[in-house]
């Protein structure tokens, strides 16, 4: 019998454990490496990335700046230095190329927390969840920008758990763990995919950058789908799958800016329906 | 009004209301957590606090580039706005590097890149805040703050004052001059007391301001090269013979040349003169 609390069991049996976890492992590796490249400086004096995800310097030469933060700074009517501006353009270009929400699933340290929460929720088979529109994050995004404009200070940064966690790991957390624990418990007990899937304005901002990327998950083998629903169980944004998988009129491509390109659907599908591909080639296949 | 439209409006309204309430909460939270405590000092070149909180991206690059590791990013739960850089003078003061490495490290200019001469930095202002505890005011020699000051002799000078207690010694009083003090905090760090008597405060707390309408007559006079109003008539006292009044100094004086003293012929009376007044001066 299919165990709903352990999505991916069938894939493990057919493809083997490694192939059923390869994208997840790659992602964890990416998240760990990025953190390590920041930590190697303070820990061992080997400075690769200096600063944190808000703004950093790679090998003391290449600047990188969070474009969402830079936008907020511009809204306070402060013109940043060249260094910060160039950094923001670089990061902006990168995420336009690979899909904005790659940030969420491959870089953001909070992803590990909310993924763990989603995993635990699945295992405990918790069903009750608040229902909120997934577009509420865009409202919150607008709210943070509006408040920044009105107050002239980076209001959102006084709470932002994304920067709080990354900065905390690198520079000292204080009682910030409480905020992270709060988000974990919120995601487990109160709302399924509550933070990353509904509320986070940082993810909302990056999803807006996801419209032009050629890097997308395709569903060219969708005829092989056996309706096990495992992809829906692991996907942090399951609403993006439906059309590409089930609607025969729809192109076999998850061309949704809310998709984080995490690749977990590729892992858990025993029928290899999903694949990471370039938008153009999959359209030609179509 | 059809049902769909009604539903849409209801949903939009409730979302807007919820988000608005959240926004108000966020605003109150950020307001209450944006006041900088007096003992937290911003790095050199920091914009005025209000502008700084809008420009600082909280990346910690200044912290990383400080060769003496004095800067910290405020952690959650501290009084300083979260993620912003500061140092505590009493723990570790700014070393005032010539090349100011923390400033060019700032990617947003929250630390103004216009600052190239560290002596022009104004991180705060040192204030001789406790004259009751400072041992210089007790008549003891110390001058540690004066000697450690990186802008030596200009930011803190030593002014001599009469020691009224002993009646025969000088007090060597440290005096801070705002036109030269960078607020580096070296004096506060070095102060030999259990708790520093000299402290660096944010300039807006430390400094008073004279009303704009004030004109200092003697300066105006100097600027103009002459008195701007009808010169004061020199006041003439009707003094006994052998006395005169020194206007810009000691006050009532006795002419030395006069032999005819008003004192007793007994020299002991003359020697003991003034002893009573001296005694009564003592606290």
Distance (Å) from the alpha carbon of B57 to chain A's nearest alpha carbon: 6
Which residue in the set B15, B57, B64 is minimally distant from A84, CB to CB? Answer: B57
Per-window interface: A 202-231 vs B, CB < 8 A: none
Q: Write phi, then psi, for B185 (nearest 5 degrees).
A: 90, 5
Tokens of residue B37, six digits:
């405590």
Q: Which domains does chain B have, with CATH numbers?
A: 32-120 (3.30.70), 124-208 (3.30.70.20)
B57 close to A (CB below 8 A): yes
Please list every residue in chain B whose beta carbon sits closer than 8 Å to the beta carbon of residue A56.
59, 61
Q: Are B270 and B264 a contacting pair, CB within 8 Å?
A: yes
**Inter-chain touch A81–B106, beta carbons under 8 Å:** yes
pLDDT in tens, A215-258: 888 888 888 888 888 888 889 998 888 888 888 787 888 888 88
Please list every residue in chain A whose beta carbon sits closer than 8 Å to the beta carbon of residue B20.
143
- The closest of B99, B88, B85 to B49, measured between CA atoms, is B85
ipTM at complex level: 0.82
B22 close to A (CB below 8 A): yes
Tokens of residue A177, six digits:
């763990």
In terms of C-beta density within 10 A (0-12 exposed, 13-18 middle, 19 or more buried), how is residue A248 classed?
A: exposed
What are the domain boundaries of chain A? 9-24+214-285, 48-208
Please list every residue in chain B whose beta carbon sits closer than 8 Å to the beta carbon of residue A133.
11, 15
Distance (Å) from the alpha carbon of A59 to chain B's nearest alpha carbon: 13
DSSP code string of B92-111? S-----TT-THHHH-SSSSB
Q: Write phi, then psi, for B199 (nearest 5 degrees).
A: -135, 150
pLDDT in tens, chain B (283 residues): 688 888 888 888 888 888 888 888 888 777 766 678 888 999 999 998 888 988 999 999 999 999 999 999 998 888 888 899 999 999 999 999 999 999 999 999 999 999 999 999 999 999 999 999 999 999 899 999 999 999 988 999 998 888 888 888 889 999 999 999 999 999 999 999 999 999 999 888 888 889 999 988 888 888 888 777 777 677 777 888 778 887 776 778 777 765 555 666 777 877 777 676 666 555 5
- The closest of A98, A95, A116, A88 to A196, measured between CA atoms, is A116
**Inter-chain touch A157–B34, beta carbons under 8 Å:** no
A171 close to B (CB below 8 A): yes
**DSSP-based three-state secondary structure for A57:** strand
């Amino acid at each position: 019998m299919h165990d709903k609390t352990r999505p991916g069991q069938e894939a493990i049996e057919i493809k083997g454990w490694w192939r059923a976890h390869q994208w997840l492992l790659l992602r964890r590796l990416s998240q760990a490496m990025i953190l390590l490249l920041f930590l190697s400086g303070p820990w061992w004096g080997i400075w690769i990335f200096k600063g944190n995800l808000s703004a950093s310097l790679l090998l003391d030469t290449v600047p990188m700046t969070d474009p969402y933060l830079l936008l907020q700074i511009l809204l306070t009517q402060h013109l940043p230095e060249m260094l910060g501006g160039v950094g923001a353009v670089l990061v902006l270009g990168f995420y336009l190329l690979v899909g904005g929400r790659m940030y969420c699933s491959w870089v953001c340290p909070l992803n590990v927390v909310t993924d763990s929460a989603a995993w635990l929720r699945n295992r405990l088979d918790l069903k009750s969840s608040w229902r909120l529109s997934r577009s509420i994050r865009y409202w919150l995004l607008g709210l943070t920008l509006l408040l920044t404009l009105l107050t002239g200070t980076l209001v959102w940064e006084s709470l932002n758990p994304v920067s709080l966690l990354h900065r905390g790991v690198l520079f000292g957390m204080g009682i910030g763990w409480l905020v992270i624990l709060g988000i974990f418990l919120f995601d487990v007990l109160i709302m399924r995919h509550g933070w990353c899937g509904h509320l986070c304005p940082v993810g909302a901002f990056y999803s807006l950058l996801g419209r032009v990327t050629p890097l997308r998950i395709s569903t060219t083998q969708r005829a092989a789908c056996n309706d096990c629903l495992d992809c829906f169980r692991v996907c942090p944004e399951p609403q993006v799958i439906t059309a590409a998988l089930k609607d025969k009129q729809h192109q076999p491509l998850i061309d949704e800016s809310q998709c984080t390109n995490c690749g977990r659907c590729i892992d858990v599908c025993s029928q290899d329906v999903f694949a990471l591909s370039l938008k153009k080639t999959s359209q030609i296949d179509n | 009004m059809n049902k769909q439209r009604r539903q849409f409006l209801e949903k939009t309204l409730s979302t807007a209301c919820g988000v608005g309430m959240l926004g108000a909460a966020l605003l109150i939270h950020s307001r209450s957590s944006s006041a900088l405590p007096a003992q937290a000092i911003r790095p050199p070149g920091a914009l005025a606090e209000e502008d700084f909180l809008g420009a600082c991206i909280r990346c910690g690059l200044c912290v990383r580039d400080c060769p003496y590791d004095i800067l910290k990013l405020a952690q959650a739960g501290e009084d300083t706005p979260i993620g912003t850089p500061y140092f505590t003078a009493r723990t570790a003061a700014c070393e005032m590097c010539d090349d100011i490495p923390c400033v060019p490290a700032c990617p947003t200019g929250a630390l103004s890149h216009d600052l190239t001469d560290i002596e022009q930095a104004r991180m705060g202002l040192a204030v001789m805040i406790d004259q009751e505890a400072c041992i210089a005011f007790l008549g003891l020699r110390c001058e540690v703050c004066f000697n450690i000051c990186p802008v030596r002799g200009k930011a803190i000078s030593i002014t001599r004052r009469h020691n009224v207690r002993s009646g025969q010694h000088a007090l060597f009083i440290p005096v801070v001059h705002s036109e030269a003090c960078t607020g580096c905090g070296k004096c506060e760090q070095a102060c030999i007391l259990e708790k520093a008597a000299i402290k660096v405060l944010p300039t807006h707390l430390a400094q008073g301001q004279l009303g704009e309408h004030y004109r200092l007559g003697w300066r105006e006079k100097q600027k103009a090269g002459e008195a701007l109003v009808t010169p004061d008539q020199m006041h003439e006292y009707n003094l006994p013979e052998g006395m005169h009044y020194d206007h810009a100094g000691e006050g009532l004086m006795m002419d030395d040349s006069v032999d005819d003293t008003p004192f007793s012929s007994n020299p002991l009376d003359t020697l003991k003169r003034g002893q009573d007044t001296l005694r009564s001066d003592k606290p």
